Amino acid sequence: QSRAAPGSARTAAPPRSPRCRAASGCRSAPRERRGGAGGGARHSPGAGAAGRGPAAPPPAQRHLFSDAAEVGAVRSALLAWYDSCKRELPWRALAANEPDVDRRAYAVWVSEVMLQQTQVATVIDYYNRWMQKWPTLQALAAASLEEVNELWAGLGYYSRGKRLQEAARKVPACRGVVSELAGRMPRTAEELQKLLPGVGRYTAGAIASISYGQATGVVDGNVIRVLCRLRGIGADSSRGCSKHVSPQREAGVRPGDFNQALMELGATVCVPKAPLCAECPVKQHCHARRRVEKELGLASQRLLGTCPAVPDVEDCAGGCPLCPPATEPWDSSLGVTNFPRKAAKKQPRAARAATCVLERGGRRGAPRYLILFTSPSPGLLAGLWEFPSLPLAPGLQEEKQREMLAGHLQAWGGWPVAAGGLRYVGEVIHIFSHIHQTYVVYSLPVDEDVTLDAVLPPSRWVTEEEFHASAVSTAMKKVPGPFLSSPSLTCLQPGQQRVMLPCPSRAPEAAFYTCF
């Protein structure tokens, strides 16, 4: 899991109160394009409907926050703990101290987008640089997409920056920027989700509760885990079970801080593995902890031969949609981490691409040059810079992939490219969230007086340092690493040094040619 909001995030890097221990990790939120958290399977509205089975039974009361007194106790305990133990994070400081409501909402919004599927320790530097460069919606709306991509480079999930800017351009009323919202951020979670592209249920709820004080649910991976353990929910957490038990919509003081406290608890105490139950401020309300104690007692009774034959009166009847499935028995070694059950993770698909680093010799003493061009749009890395690359079909022989890459380069550059002139460098592997990507890297020397066709995409020469400062994905930054560190590797034959990991570059004597 990975992603953290103002008041959640999980990495031990930021300081916390000495009274509390920090746990490492990150926070994950459901994908916004799927409608945010809690969007699980739908139950049939009733029995006997055509083509549908009987309605699923309602969750048992023991799983719900139906006791107002208990909700109040949980809220009070969490807020007191949060006030003394929360980590100091830059977006929290802005959210707490910014008097302008639009700028406050913008600060929360940027953090929420950056923290999607990204660890807090990674986000902090990007967030500080972003807010320093674009402190307001007006500043972001006036920026170019290239500037946004350059700052975002290395943060991953690159479409997030583009969507953030697209949404920002709907808000500000400033010269040169077309605005649909006359400079005013939407003021409710419903309006935020409806009016701003790329803002889903989770992000809208976080902005509205933290910035505007709206009592609305914020259910990310951390919150789902906390709620499932508090209420003893063992069902698959990806199927919307948390929507039955969220206490966040209840009217109460400090709704934004309460949401952040739930997220912080899941990020630092109620972590996926080895939770710090002794430090939990709401452990007396935790059904998962009670279940562990109960199972320990039953195990002792079984050893003594005194285990009761009748079920406990607190146990749910069969068919409860929130209880652990009967097919998955209790695992005593897991303890409270039996809750919640997680769906089996889908394995990333394998993909291969042939990639070429073109090097151009300069005058005596001048650096070599390499050539880049941008990804097409749309795509996983759309709008970013990359070396000339060509997707490869599975099982393609090396000789054939070399021929295809040569043809691709010739069609693109307009000069003859012989397959035999391509020098094999090695393979670079990068794991995206859903793709296991392998780049088969070649190098190709070109004449120093080579020119490019004017109809090609816009281009510019950059040094190695400028290359790394450009909007280049982390995956693509791996490609020149072994090539620059060990030029002799360019002469390797296929089968030798098959996996190339990024290595420290030598003195900056190489430069890159880029197209955008």
CB 85 within 8 A of CB 20: yes
| Both tokens assigned to 507 | 């003195």
Q: At what angle do helices 90-97 and 120-133 cross, to 10 degrees?
A: 50
Q: Which of 112, 264, 359, 386 is catalytic?
A: 112
Residues in the chain: 516
Among 30, 54, 51, smallest CA distance to 40 is for: 30
If residue 121 lies in a helix (H) or strand (E), which one and from where to where? helix 120-133
> Alpha-carbon distance 297 to 300, whole Å?
5
Structure tokens at 516: 């955008």
Which residues sit opposite 512 in a β-bridge?
A: 370, 462
CA distances from 117 to 3, 210, 341 (A): 4, 20, 20
DSSP 169-235: TTS--BTTB--SSTT----SHHHHHHHSTT--HHHHHHHHHHHH--------HHHHHHHHHHTT--S
> Does the annotation mark 112 as catalytic?
yes
Nearest to 165 by CA among 187, 196, 195: 196
In eight-state DSSP terms, residue 118 is: S
Catalytic residues: 112
